[in-house]
């Protein structure tokens, strides 16, 4: 009940502050700007970069992959570009999730993102190293659910963190389709 009252007070304060000069004065007032915690942001970038690097160690594009990939698979050059962008968004999501979650729930942030990161790496191991598209399909479905879970987990704590995960969910949805058609 107190949270609803606080949100209502914030909305009323915002409306009053808009007055003649508008929303700009409200947004630029120092009390309303949350400074970026660069230390935490860089740590988030480094964590996600490590996940990306480890996953890339298992992503070997060889003759096996060429023989199983569906005809509608994008060119190989697209994947590192998209994944670099997605990993940046994931790092930003992790940052907002960490900084906007109350202290007693931060352990959940570590556990939930950690599980997602392990699943992300594991898919590359299963698909590319073990060359097992069937098992990889099962695993990527679990990864997809974990992304959806992260979005739901963040929804009430940090909408920004949740929104930054949506492109990741969409790309993995496409990867599920590619993985499905790789099974022969």
DSSP line for 63-87: HHHHHHS-TTPPPTTHHHHHHHHHH
- Does the model's pTM come out above 0.85? no
* CA–CA distance, 119 with 55 (Å, rounded to integer): 10
Q: pLDDT by residue (tens digit) across 87-137?
A: 999 999 999 999 999 999 999 999 999 999 999 999 999 999 999 999 999
Mean pLDDT of 155-171: 97
Please give the radius of gyration of the chain, using alpha carbons only, rounded to the nearest integer: 20
Task: Please give the pLDDT value at position 35.
Answer: 85
Which residue reads 């352990």 in tokens? 107
Residue 3 has pLDDT above 90, yes or no: no
pLDDT digits (tens, 9 = 90+) for 46-83: 999 999 999 999 998 889 999 999 999 999 999 999 99
Nearest alpha carbon to residue 140 among 167, 184, 171: 171
Average pLDDT of the chain is 89
Phi-psi region of 69 (alpha: psi -120 to 50; beta: other; left: phi over 0): beta
């Amino acid at each position: 009940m107190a949270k609803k009252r606080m949100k209502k007070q914030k909305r009323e304060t915002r409306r009053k502050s808009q007055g003649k000069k508008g929303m700009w004065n409200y947004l630029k007032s120092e009390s309303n700007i949350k400074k970026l915690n660069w230390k935490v942001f860089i740590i988030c970038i480094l964590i996600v970069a490590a996940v990306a690097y480890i996953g890339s160690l298992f992503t070997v594009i060889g003759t096996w992959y060429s023989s199983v990939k569906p005809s509608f698979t994008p060119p190989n050059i697209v994947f590192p570009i998209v994944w670099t962008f997605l990993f940046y968004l994931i790092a930003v999501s992790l940052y907002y999730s960490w900084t906007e979650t109350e202290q007693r729930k931060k352990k959940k942030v570590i556990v939930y993102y950690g599980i997602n990161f392990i699943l992300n790496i594991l898919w590359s191991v299963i698909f590319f190293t073990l060359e097992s598209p069937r098992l990889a399909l099962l695993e990527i479905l679990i990864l997809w659910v974990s992304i959806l879970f992260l979005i739901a987990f963040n929804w009430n704590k940090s909408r920004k963190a949740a929104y930054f995960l949506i492109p990741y969910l969409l790309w993995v949805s496409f990867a599920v389709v590619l993985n499905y058609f790789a099974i022969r």
